[in-house]
Structure 1
Amino acid sequence: MKGNIRPIQLTDAELILEWRNTDAVRLNMYNHEKISLDSHMTWFKSMLSNDSCKYFIYERDNIPLGVLSFSDIDPKNRKAFWAFYSGATNVRGIGSEMEQLALDYAFNILNLNKLCCEVLDFNTSVINFHRKFGFKIEGIKKQDYFRDEKFYDIYQLAIFKTDYIKTKKDILAKVEKRFNWEFVLSEAKVDAFAEISGDKNLVHLDRSIAVEQGFEDRIAHGALLAAEISRVAAMEYPSKKPIYLSQNLQFKSPVYLDKALMGKAQLKTQIGRFTIIEYNIYQNEILVASCESAFILNDKDN
Protein backbone atom coordinates (compact mmCIF):
# COMPACT_ATOMS: atom_id res chain seq x y z
CA MET A 1 0.00 0.00 0.00
CA LYS A 2 1.26 3.46 -0.89
CA GLY A 3 -1.20 5.27 1.38
CA ASN A 4 -3.01 5.02 4.70
CA ILE A 5 -6.17 6.21 6.41
CA ARG A 6 -6.46 8.35 9.54
CA PRO A 7 -9.47 9.60 11.51
CA ILE A 8 -11.04 12.78 10.23
CA GLN A 9 -10.31 16.05 12.07
CA LEU A 10 -12.07 19.39 12.27
CA THR A 11 -9.22 20.92 10.26
CA ASP A 12 -10.21 18.65 7.32
CA ALA A 13 -13.69 20.15 7.04
CA GLU A 14 -13.13 22.76 4.34
CA LEU A 15 -11.04 20.45 2.15
CA ILE A 16 -13.72 17.75 2.32
CA LEU A 17 -16.38 20.31 1.36
CA GLU A 18 -14.27 21.35 -1.64
CA TRP A 19 -14.04 17.73 -2.80
CA ARG A 20 -17.68 17.00 -2.11
CA ASN A 21 -18.94 19.98 -4.14
CA THR A 22 -17.10 18.96 -7.32
CA ASP A 23 -19.39 17.69 -10.08
CA ALA A 24 -17.56 14.34 -10.19
CA VAL A 25 -18.56 13.65 -6.58
CA ARG A 26 -21.86 15.39 -5.84
CA LEU A 27 -23.69 14.27 -8.99
CA ASN A 28 -23.31 10.65 -7.86
CA MET A 29 -24.79 11.33 -4.41
CA TYR A 30 -28.39 11.35 -3.21
CA ASN A 31 -28.08 15.00 -2.22
CA HIS A 32 -26.48 16.36 -5.37
CA GLU A 33 -26.85 20.05 -4.60
CA LYS A 34 -23.83 22.16 -3.68
CA ILE A 35 -23.56 22.57 0.08
CA SER A 36 -22.73 25.84 1.84
CA LEU A 37 -19.90 26.07 4.35
CA ASP A 38 -22.33 26.79 7.22
CA SER A 39 -24.46 23.70 6.45
CA HIS A 40 -21.37 21.59 6.02
CA MET A 41 -19.89 22.69 9.36
CA THR A 42 -23.13 21.95 11.18
CA TRP A 43 -23.18 18.44 9.74
CA PHE A 44 -19.44 17.99 10.29
CA LYS A 45 -19.55 18.79 14.01
CA SER A 46 -22.52 16.51 14.61
CA MET A 47 -20.79 13.72 12.69
CA LEU A 48 -17.70 13.94 14.91
CA SER A 49 -19.82 13.12 17.96
CA ASN A 50 -21.91 10.38 16.30
CA ASP A 51 -20.84 6.89 17.41
CA SER A 52 -22.78 5.20 14.59
CA CYS A 53 -20.43 6.56 11.91
CA LYS A 54 -16.71 6.92 11.34
CA TYR A 55 -14.96 9.08 8.75
CA PHE A 56 -11.38 8.80 7.55
CA ILE A 57 -8.97 10.72 5.35
CA TYR A 58 -6.95 8.72 2.84
CA GLU A 59 -3.47 10.19 2.41
CA ARG A 60 -0.09 9.52 0.87
CA ASP A 61 3.04 11.06 2.36
CA ASN A 62 0.76 13.08 4.68
CA ILE A 63 -1.07 14.60 1.70
CA PRO A 64 -4.89 14.19 1.91
CA LEU A 65 -6.28 12.63 -1.27
CA GLY A 66 -9.71 11.25 -0.42
CA VAL A 67 -12.33 10.46 2.21
CA LEU A 68 -14.08 7.23 3.20
CA SER A 69 -16.85 6.67 5.70
CA PHE A 70 -18.70 3.99 7.62
CA SER A 71 -22.30 4.73 8.60
CA ASP A 72 -25.18 2.96 10.33
CA ILE A 73 -22.61 0.91 12.24
CA ASP A 74 -24.55 -1.84 13.97
CA PRO A 75 -22.32 -3.63 16.55
CA LYS A 76 -25.04 -6.09 17.55
CA ASN A 77 -25.62 -7.39 14.03
CA ARG A 78 -22.03 -6.61 12.98
CA LYS A 79 -22.87 -4.72 9.80
CA ALA A 80 -22.45 -1.22 8.39
CA PHE A 81 -22.64 0.85 5.21
CA TRP A 82 -19.69 2.55 3.62
CA ALA A 83 -18.86 5.10 0.91
CA PHE A 84 -15.84 6.91 -0.43
CA TYR A 85 -14.72 9.53 -2.90
CA SER A 86 -11.40 10.80 -4.15
CA GLY A 87 -10.26 14.37 -4.05
CA ALA A 88 -7.37 13.78 -6.43
CA THR A 89 -8.76 12.16 -9.56
CA ASN A 90 -5.45 12.53 -11.41
CA VAL A 91 -3.59 10.13 -9.08
CA ARG A 92 -3.82 6.52 -10.26
CA GLY A 93 -4.72 3.69 -7.91
CA ILE A 94 -6.37 5.78 -5.19
CA GLY A 95 -9.77 4.10 -5.49
CA SER A 96 -8.33 0.59 -5.26
CA GLU A 97 -6.26 1.43 -2.21
CA MET A 98 -9.16 3.16 -0.47
CA GLU A 99 -11.45 0.20 -1.09
CA GLN A 100 -8.90 -2.31 0.19
CA LEU A 101 -8.17 -0.20 3.28
CA ALA A 102 -11.90 0.13 3.93
CA LEU A 103 -12.36 -3.64 3.76
CA ASP A 104 -9.37 -4.23 6.05
CA TYR A 105 -10.74 -1.77 8.61
CA ALA A 106 -14.31 -3.04 8.40
CA PHE A 107 -13.47 -6.70 8.97
CA ASN A 108 -10.29 -6.49 11.06
CA ILE A 109 -10.92 -3.44 13.26
CA LEU A 110 -14.70 -3.03 13.38
CA ASN A 111 -15.05 -6.83 13.27
CA LEU A 112 -18.03 -6.63 10.96
CA ASN A 113 -19.65 -9.65 9.40
CA LYS A 114 -21.20 -7.69 6.52
CA LEU A 115 -20.31 -4.44 4.75
CA CYS A 116 -22.95 -2.82 2.52
CA CYS A 117 -23.18 0.03 0.06
CA GLU A 118 -25.71 1.60 -2.29
CA VAL A 119 -25.04 3.00 -5.75
CA LEU A 120 -27.33 4.85 -8.17
CA ASP A 121 -27.93 2.88 -11.36
CA PHE A 122 -26.22 5.34 -13.70
CA ASN A 123 -22.95 5.02 -11.81
CA THR A 124 -22.11 1.70 -13.45
CA SER A 125 -18.35 2.15 -13.14
CA VAL A 126 -18.60 2.19 -9.34
CA ILE A 127 -20.99 -0.78 -9.29
CA ASN A 128 -18.47 -2.78 -11.33
CA PHE A 129 -15.59 -1.44 -9.24
CA HIS A 130 -17.14 -2.77 -6.01
CA ARG A 131 -17.81 -6.12 -7.65
CA LYS A 132 -14.12 -6.44 -8.47
CA PHE A 133 -13.42 -6.42 -4.73
CA GLY A 134 -15.89 -9.18 -4.01
CA PHE A 135 -19.10 -7.22 -3.45
CA LYS A 136 -22.22 -8.92 -4.77
CA ILE A 137 -25.47 -7.34 -5.88
CA GLU A 138 -28.08 -8.27 -3.28
CA GLY A 139 -30.97 -6.36 -4.77
CA ILE A 140 -32.17 -3.45 -6.86
CA LYS A 141 -34.62 -0.93 -5.45
CA LYS A 142 -36.56 -0.11 -8.59
CA GLN A 143 -37.34 3.55 -9.32
CA ASP A 144 -36.47 4.41 -5.73
CA TYR A 145 -34.77 7.77 -6.29
CA PHE A 146 -36.23 10.78 -8.09
CA ARG A 147 -34.14 13.55 -9.64
CA ASP A 148 -34.70 16.03 -12.47
CA GLU A 149 -38.09 14.56 -13.40
CA LYS A 150 -36.75 11.03 -13.66
CA PHE A 151 -36.75 7.92 -11.44
CA TYR A 152 -33.57 5.92 -10.89
CA ASP A 153 -32.87 2.45 -9.47
CA ILE A 154 -30.61 1.95 -6.47
CA TYR A 155 -28.21 -1.01 -6.49
CA GLN A 156 -27.63 -2.66 -3.11
CA LEU A 157 -24.29 -4.42 -2.77
CA ALA A 158 -22.62 -6.26 0.10
CA ILE A 159 -19.61 -8.39 1.00
CA PHE A 160 -19.34 -10.83 3.92
CA LYS A 161 -16.29 -11.40 6.08
CA THR A 162 -15.97 -14.99 4.85
CA ASP A 163 -15.65 -13.75 1.26
CA TYR A 164 -13.18 -11.04 2.32
CA ILE A 165 -10.99 -13.68 3.98
CA LYS A 166 -11.05 -15.83 0.86
CA THR A 167 -9.91 -12.96 -1.35
CA LYS A 168 -7.06 -12.08 1.03
CA LYS A 169 -5.37 -15.46 0.85
CA ASP A 170 -2.20 -15.54 -1.16
CA ILE A 171 -2.04 -17.46 -4.43
CA LEU A 172 0.90 -19.06 -6.14
CA ALA A 173 0.91 -16.89 -9.26
CA LYS A 174 -1.00 -14.18 -11.03
CA VAL A 175 -3.53 -15.24 -13.64
CA GLU A 176 -2.51 -14.57 -17.23
CA LYS A 177 -4.34 -11.62 -18.78
CA ARG A 178 -5.67 -13.52 -21.83
CA PHE A 179 -6.38 -17.03 -23.02
CA ASN A 180 -7.62 -18.21 -26.45
CA TRP A 181 -8.76 -21.63 -27.58
CA GLU A 182 -10.62 -23.36 -30.43
CA PHE A 183 -13.27 -26.06 -30.38
CA VAL A 184 -16.14 -27.57 -32.40
CA LEU A 185 -19.63 -28.67 -31.40
CA SER A 186 -20.28 -31.76 -33.48
CA GLU A 187 -23.57 -33.34 -34.53
CA ALA A 188 -22.66 -36.36 -32.41
CA LYS A 189 -22.22 -34.21 -29.31
CA VAL A 190 -25.52 -32.40 -29.89
CA ASP A 191 -27.36 -35.70 -30.45
CA ALA A 192 -25.84 -37.16 -27.26
CA PHE A 193 -26.74 -34.07 -25.24
CA ALA A 194 -30.32 -34.21 -26.47
CA GLU A 195 -30.60 -37.79 -25.20
CA ILE A 196 -28.96 -37.05 -21.84
CA SER A 197 -30.79 -33.77 -21.12
CA GLY A 198 -34.13 -34.58 -22.73
CA ASP A 199 -33.97 -31.30 -24.66
CA LYS A 200 -35.10 -32.62 -28.05
CA ASN A 201 -36.21 -29.34 -29.57
CA LEU A 202 -36.09 -30.11 -33.30
CA VAL A 203 -34.12 -26.97 -34.18
CA HIS A 204 -31.18 -28.88 -32.65
CA LEU A 205 -31.90 -32.21 -34.34
CA ASP A 206 -33.67 -31.71 -37.67
CA ARG A 207 -32.18 -29.49 -40.36
CA SER A 208 -35.48 -28.98 -42.19
CA ILE A 209 -37.20 -27.78 -39.01
CA ALA A 210 -34.31 -25.48 -38.18
CA VAL A 211 -34.43 -23.91 -41.65
CA GLU A 212 -38.18 -23.59 -41.37
CA GLN A 213 -37.64 -21.66 -38.12
CA GLY A 214 -35.30 -19.21 -39.87
CA PHE A 215 -31.90 -20.75 -39.14
CA GLU A 216 -29.31 -21.76 -41.74
CA ASP A 217 -28.96 -25.28 -40.32
CA ARG A 218 -29.24 -27.23 -37.08
CA ILE A 219 -28.13 -25.18 -34.09
CA ALA A 220 -26.37 -26.23 -30.88
CA HIS A 221 -27.91 -26.20 -27.43
CA GLY A 222 -26.83 -23.14 -25.47
CA ALA A 223 -26.02 -25.39 -22.53
CA LEU A 224 -23.19 -26.92 -24.57
CA LEU A 225 -21.52 -23.51 -24.75
CA ALA A 226 -21.94 -23.16 -20.99
CA ALA A 227 -20.37 -26.61 -20.58
CA GLU A 228 -17.42 -25.65 -22.80
CA ILE A 229 -16.78 -22.54 -20.73
CA SER A 230 -17.02 -24.66 -17.58
CA ARG A 231 -14.49 -27.13 -19.01
CA VAL A 232 -12.00 -24.39 -19.82
CA ALA A 233 -12.55 -22.72 -16.45
CA ALA A 234 -12.03 -25.95 -14.52
CA MET A 235 -8.99 -27.22 -16.38
CA GLU A 236 -7.24 -24.37 -18.21
CA TYR A 237 -8.21 -20.77 -17.47
CA PRO A 238 -8.10 -19.05 -15.02
CA SER A 239 -6.47 -22.08 -13.36
CA LYS A 240 -6.98 -25.74 -12.62
CA LYS A 241 -9.94 -26.62 -10.40
CA PRO A 242 -11.11 -23.19 -9.22
CA ILE A 243 -14.33 -22.83 -7.23
CA TYR A 244 -17.05 -21.45 -9.53
CA LEU A 245 -18.95 -18.69 -7.69
CA SER A 246 -21.24 -17.22 -10.34
CA GLN A 247 -21.89 -16.98 -14.05
CA ASN A 248 -23.70 -14.46 -16.22
CA LEU A 249 -24.05 -16.01 -19.69
CA GLN A 250 -25.75 -14.34 -22.64
CA PHE A 251 -26.40 -15.92 -26.03
CA LYS A 252 -25.90 -13.51 -28.91
CA SER A 253 -26.25 -15.57 -32.11
CA PRO A 254 -27.01 -19.19 -33.09
CA VAL A 255 -24.15 -21.69 -33.12
CA TYR A 256 -23.96 -24.08 -36.08
CA LEU A 257 -22.61 -27.61 -35.86
CA ASP A 258 -19.23 -28.90 -37.04
CA LYS A 259 -17.92 -25.38 -37.63
CA ALA A 260 -14.93 -23.90 -35.84
CA LEU A 261 -15.53 -21.83 -32.74
CA MET A 262 -13.00 -19.44 -31.20
CA GLY A 263 -13.00 -18.77 -27.47
CA LYS A 264 -11.38 -15.61 -26.13
CA ALA A 265 -11.06 -15.11 -22.37
CA GLN A 266 -9.58 -12.21 -20.48
CA LEU A 267 -8.91 -11.37 -16.86
CA LYS A 268 -11.19 -8.61 -15.57
CA THR A 269 -9.84 -8.51 -12.03
CA GLN A 270 -7.85 -10.53 -9.53
CA ILE A 271 -7.78 -9.73 -5.82
CA GLY A 272 -6.04 -12.48 -3.90
CA ARG A 273 -7.80 -15.69 -4.90
CA PHE A 274 -10.95 -13.90 -6.07
CA THR A 275 -11.04 -13.61 -9.87
CA ILE A 276 -13.48 -12.39 -12.51
CA ILE A 277 -13.03 -13.66 -16.08
CA GLU A 278 -14.85 -12.60 -19.23
CA TYR A 279 -15.37 -15.33 -21.86
CA ASN A 280 -16.44 -14.50 -25.42
CA ILE A 281 -17.09 -17.13 -28.08
CA TYR A 282 -17.06 -16.42 -31.81
CA GLN A 283 -18.05 -18.32 -34.95
CA ASN A 284 -16.95 -16.87 -38.29
CA GLU A 285 -15.88 -13.74 -36.33
CA ILE A 286 -19.46 -13.26 -35.06
CA LEU A 287 -19.95 -13.08 -31.29
CA VAL A 288 -22.25 -15.96 -30.35
CA ALA A 289 -21.96 -15.95 -26.56
CA SER A 290 -20.60 -13.73 -23.81
CA CYS A 291 -20.05 -14.77 -20.23
CA GLU A 292 -18.71 -13.18 -17.05
CA SER A 293 -17.68 -15.66 -14.35
CA ALA A 294 -16.39 -15.25 -10.81
CA PHE A 295 -14.07 -17.75 -9.11
CA ILE A 296 -12.10 -18.47 -6.01
CA LEU A 297 -8.82 -19.94 -7.23
CA ASN A 298 -7.53 -23.22 -5.90
CA ASP A 299 -4.46 -22.62 -3.73
CA LYS A 300 -2.99 -25.87 -5.07
CA ASP A 301 -2.71 -25.90 -8.85
CA ASN A 302 -3.03 -29.63 -9.52
Structure 2
Amino acid sequence: MQVPIRLRPATLQDAELLLAWRNDLQTRLASHGTHEIPLAEHWAWLDLVLADPARRLLIAELDDVPVGSIRVDTASDDVAELSWTVAPSARGQGVGTRMLIAALSEVTGSVRAEVKIGNVASMKMAEAAGLVLVREEQGVLHYQKCLSGQARSQS
Protein backbone atom coordinates (compact mmCIF):
# COMPACT_ATOMS: atom_id res chain seq x y z
CA MET A 1 0.00 0.00 0.00
CA GLN A 2 1.35 3.40 -1.00
CA VAL A 3 1.76 6.16 1.54
CA PRO A 4 -0.80 8.84 0.64
CA ILE A 5 0.35 12.17 -0.75
CA ARG A 6 -0.62 15.05 1.51
CA LEU A 7 -1.01 18.55 0.14
CA ARG A 8 -0.55 21.53 2.40
CA PRO A 9 -0.43 25.25 1.71
CA ALA A 10 3.06 26.61 1.14
CA THR A 11 4.38 29.18 3.61
CA LEU A 12 7.30 31.58 3.72
CA GLN A 13 9.19 28.84 5.60
CA ASP A 14 9.21 26.87 2.31
CA ALA A 15 11.02 29.65 0.42
CA GLU A 16 14.50 28.11 0.37
CA LEU A 17 13.20 24.66 -0.55
CA LEU A 18 11.05 26.04 -3.37
CA LEU A 19 13.96 28.10 -4.68
CA ALA A 20 16.29 25.09 -4.66
CA TRP A 21 13.73 23.06 -6.62
CA ARG A 22 13.12 25.92 -9.07
CA ASN A 23 16.83 26.49 -9.68
CA ASP A 24 17.55 22.81 -10.25
CA LEU A 25 18.87 22.51 -13.82
CA GLN A 26 16.30 19.91 -14.93
CA THR A 27 13.47 22.05 -13.53
CA ARG A 28 14.79 25.17 -15.27
CA LEU A 29 15.05 23.39 -18.60
CA ALA A 30 11.40 22.29 -18.29
CA SER A 31 10.18 25.76 -17.28
CA HIS A 32 9.05 28.61 -19.51
CA GLY A 33 11.76 30.77 -17.94
CA THR A 34 15.04 28.86 -17.86
CA HIS A 35 17.20 31.39 -16.03
CA GLU A 36 18.35 30.85 -12.47
CA ILE A 37 16.21 32.85 -10.05
CA PRO A 38 18.05 35.08 -7.53
CA LEU A 39 16.95 34.90 -3.90
CA ALA A 40 15.48 38.44 -3.79
CA GLU A 41 13.40 37.81 -6.93
CA HIS A 42 12.15 34.53 -5.49
CA TRP A 43 11.13 36.14 -2.18
CA ALA A 44 9.21 38.87 -4.04
CA TRP A 45 7.45 36.25 -6.19
CA LEU A 46 6.57 34.08 -3.18
CA ASP A 47 5.17 37.06 -1.26
CA LEU A 48 2.90 37.88 -4.23
CA VAL A 49 1.77 34.28 -4.70
CA LEU A 50 0.94 33.74 -1.04
CA ALA A 51 -1.02 37.02 -0.88
CA ASP A 52 -3.05 36.38 -4.06
CA PRO A 53 -6.48 34.81 -3.36
CA ALA A 54 -6.65 33.56 -6.97
CA ARG A 55 -3.51 31.45 -6.46
CA ARG A 56 -2.80 28.44 -4.29
CA LEU A 57 0.70 27.11 -3.85
CA LEU A 58 0.68 23.62 -2.39
CA ILE A 59 3.51 21.49 -1.07
CA ALA A 60 3.15 17.75 -1.64
CA GLU A 61 4.48 15.56 1.16
CA LEU A 62 5.07 11.86 1.72
CA ASP A 63 5.51 10.94 5.38
CA ASP A 64 5.94 14.67 6.15
CA VAL A 65 8.81 14.95 3.64
CA PRO A 66 8.29 17.56 0.89
CA VAL A 67 8.43 15.90 -2.55
CA GLY A 68 7.04 18.58 -4.85
CA SER A 69 4.83 21.58 -5.35
CA ILE A 70 1.75 22.43 -7.36
CA ARG A 71 0.48 25.91 -8.08
CA VAL A 72 -3.21 26.37 -8.89
CA ASP A 73 -3.99 29.73 -10.51
CA THR A 74 -7.63 30.57 -11.11
CA ALA A 75 -7.85 32.64 -14.27
CA SER A 76 -10.43 35.28 -15.11
CA ASP A 77 -12.36 32.64 -17.10
CA ASP A 78 -12.63 30.48 -13.92
CA VAL A 79 -10.32 27.86 -15.37
CA ALA A 80 -7.64 26.63 -12.99
CA GLU A 81 -4.16 26.63 -14.48
CA LEU A 82 -1.81 24.09 -12.94
CA SER A 83 1.96 24.22 -12.69
CA TRP A 84 4.12 21.71 -10.85
CA THR A 85 7.61 20.78 -9.77
CA VAL A 86 8.78 17.41 -8.50
CA ALA A 87 11.67 17.54 -6.05
CA PRO A 88 14.87 16.24 -7.65
CA SER A 89 15.15 13.55 -4.96
CA ALA A 90 11.62 12.29 -5.72
CA ARG A 91 11.81 12.07 -9.51
CA GLY A 92 11.14 8.79 -11.28
CA GLN A 93 9.04 7.37 -8.44
CA GLY A 94 5.51 8.24 -9.64
CA VAL A 95 5.24 11.02 -7.06
CA GLY A 96 4.41 13.68 -9.65
CA THR A 97 1.36 11.87 -10.98
CA ARG A 98 0.14 11.16 -7.47
CA MET A 99 0.48 14.79 -6.38
CA LEU A 100 -1.22 16.01 -9.56
CA ILE A 101 -4.15 13.65 -9.00
CA ALA A 102 -4.38 14.84 -5.38
CA ALA A 103 -4.45 18.47 -6.53
CA LEU A 104 -7.13 17.72 -9.14
CA SER A 105 -9.32 16.28 -6.37
CA GLU A 106 -9.36 19.77 -4.81
CA VAL A 107 -10.39 21.61 -7.98
CA THR A 108 -13.78 21.89 -9.62
CA GLY A 109 -14.61 23.07 -13.12
CA SER A 110 -11.98 23.03 -15.83
CA VAL A 111 -8.22 22.90 -15.55
CA ARG A 112 -5.41 23.50 -17.98
CA ALA A 113 -1.67 23.05 -17.96
CA GLU A 114 1.16 23.98 -20.30
CA VAL A 115 4.06 21.58 -20.82
CA LYS A 116 7.12 22.32 -22.92
CA ILE A 117 7.69 19.89 -25.76
CA GLY A 118 10.40 17.51 -24.66
CA ASN A 119 9.33 17.51 -21.01
CA VAL A 120 8.40 13.83 -21.19
CA ALA A 121 7.94 13.42 -17.42
CA SER A 122 5.32 16.20 -17.23
CA MET A 123 3.61 14.94 -20.40
CA LYS A 124 3.27 11.50 -18.81
CA MET A 125 2.06 13.04 -15.53
CA ALA A 126 -0.61 15.12 -17.27
CA GLU A 127 -1.89 12.20 -19.32
CA ALA A 128 -1.85 9.76 -16.37
CA ALA A 129 -3.90 12.27 -14.36
CA GLY A 130 -6.51 12.45 -17.14
CA LEU A 131 -5.56 15.73 -18.79
CA VAL A 132 -6.03 15.70 -22.55
CA LEU A 133 -3.69 17.28 -25.06
CA VAL A 134 -5.73 19.85 -27.00
CA ARG A 135 -3.07 21.65 -29.03
CA GLU A 136 0.59 22.41 -29.55
CA GLU A 137 1.62 25.99 -30.02
CA GLN A 138 5.13 27.43 -30.28
CA GLY A 139 6.80 24.52 -28.54
CA VAL A 140 4.22 24.26 -25.75
CA LEU A 141 1.68 21.48 -25.29
CA HIS A 142 -1.69 22.63 -23.94
CA TYR A 143 -3.57 20.14 -21.77
CA GLN A 144 -7.11 20.45 -20.41
CA LYS A 145 -9.60 18.56 -18.30
CA CYS A 146 -13.15 19.32 -17.29
CA LEU A 147 -13.86 18.30 -13.70
CA SER A 148 -17.19 18.06 -11.96
CA GLY A 149 -18.38 17.79 -8.40
CA GLN A 150 -17.32 19.62 -5.29
CA ALA A 151 -13.77 20.25 -4.26
CA ARG A 152 -12.57 17.90 -1.58
CA SER A 153 -10.07 18.76 1.08
CA GLN A 154 -6.93 16.64 1.57
CA SER A 155 -6.45 16.36 5.31
TM-score after normalising by structure 2: 0.86
Task: Output the CA distance in 1 between the equivalents of 2:126 and 2:109.
Answer: 17
User: Per-residue deviation at 1:96?
Assistant: 2.1
Task: Output the CA distance in 1 between the equivalents of 2:48 and 2:125.
Answer: 31
Find the counterpart in structure 2 of residue 61 from structure 1: 63
Alignment check: 8 A CA contact 2:97 2:128 kept: no
Change (3 A) 1:126 1:15: same
Instruction: State the secondary structure of the residue aligned to 2:54.
Output: coil
Residues 1-12 of structure 1 correspond to what in structure 2 (within 5 A)?
A: 1-12=3-14
Find the counterpart in structure 1 of residue 83 from structure 2: 83
Find the counterpart in structure 2 of residue 35 from structure 1: 37
Q: Which amino acid aligns with 2:65?
A: I
Percentage of matched positions with identical amino acids: 23
CA RMSD of aligned residues (A): 2.0
Alignment partner of 1:114 out of 110, 115, 128: 110
Instruction: State the secondary structure of the residue aligned to 1:20.
Output: helix
Find the counterpart in structure 1 of residue 21 from structure 2: 19
Task: Output the CA distance in 2 between the equivalents of 1:101 and 1:94.
Answer: 10
Find the counterpart in structure 2 of residue 252 from structure 1: none
Task: Output the CA distance in 2 between the equivalents of 1:114 and 1:139.
Answer: 16
Find the counterpart in structure 2 of residue 127 from structure 1: 123
Task: Output the CA distance in 1 between the equivalents of 2:94 and 2:28.
Answer: 21
Instruction: State the secondary structure of the residue aligned to 1:128.
Output: helix
Greater relative contact order structure (CA < 8 Å, 6+ sep): 2
Find the counterpart in structure 1 of residue 153 from structure 2: none
Task: Output the CA distance in 2 between the equivalents of 1:77 and 1:90.
Answer: 33
> Max radius of gyration: which structure?
1
Alignment partner of 1:160 out of 137, 146, 152: 146
How many residues are aligned here? 147
Task: Output the CA distance in 1 between the equivalents of 2:5 and 2:129.
Answer: 18
Q: Which amino acid aligns with 2:113?
A: C
Q: Which amino acid aligns with 1:132?
A: A
Instruction: State the secondary structure of the residue aligned to 1:33.
Output: coil
Q: Runs (4+) of structure 1 moved beyond 4 Å?
A: none
User: Per-residue deviation at 1:77?
Assistant: 4.3
Task: Output the CA distance in 2 between the equivalents of 1:32 and 1:77.
Answer: 28
User: Per-residue deviation at 1:26?
Assistant: 1.0
Find the counterpart in structure 2 of residue 98 from structure 1: 99
Instruction: State the secondary structure of the residue aligned to 1:30.
Output: coil
Gaps in structure 2 of 5+ consecutive residues: 150-155
Q: Which amino acid aligns with 2:100?
A: E
Task: Output the CA distance in 2 between the equivalents of 1:89 and 1:25.
Answer: 13
Gaps in structure 1 of 5+ consecutive residues: 107-111, 145-152, 165-302
Task: Output the CA distance in 1 between the equivalents of 2:125 and 2:98.
Answer: 12
Task: Output the CA distance in 2 between the equivalents of 1:10 and 1:78.
Answer: 27
Residues 169-208 of structure 1 correspond to what in structure 2 (within 5 A)?
A: none
Instruction: State the secondary structure of the residue aligned to 2:30.
Output: coil
